[in-house]
Amino acid sequence: MFKALILSELKKQKEALSIPYEAISSRAGVGIATIKRAFAGHDISFDTLEKIAIALDCEISIKPKHSPKALYQEQIEKKAHEIVNRVIHSSALENQIPRDEAQRKMFTQAKAIISKMPKSQIWA
């Protein structure tokens, strides 16, 4: 999927530059047959894809959709919900479901405890 997306952008750049396959091949140091296969949609290595990108004066990069801090906080909330939901489910089996206020308090406390854990442990 990512290769196809990258290749789509490289095709746009190729067309905008009106650069022939032979020139891309020469600039990338990759055989012309490989260049043609790549642009035809055949599977190629990321190494080859990067060489083609460089030949077309492009760079391949990854841009996070969300900040690490936001993702970390989201994971803390997810873990806290899991814990509180287990308690609620267990309490429901005994017909002792905590009130909404108590559930909110448990959630807040669970978040506080989880946020003190080593960051690597909250992803499990």
18 pLDDT band, cuts 50/70/90, is very high
Q: Where are the domains of the chain?
A: 2-55, 68-123
C-alpha R_g of the chain: 26
CA 67/CA 88 separation, integer angstroms: 31
Which amino acid is it at 114?
I
The string over 82-109, giving b where at least 16 C-beta atoms fall within 10 Å of a residue's C-beta and e elsewhere, is ebbeebbeeeeeeeeeeeeeebeebbee
The residues, ordered by sequence, that sit 6+ positions from 14 with a Cβ below 8 Å of its Cβ are 24, 39, 56
At residue 8 the predicted structure's pLDDT band, cuts being 50, 70 and 90, is: very high
CA separation for the pair 98, 82 (Å, rounded): 15
Between 122 and 19, name the one with better pLDDT.
19
Question: What average pLDDT does range 9-17 have in this prediction?
Answer: 96
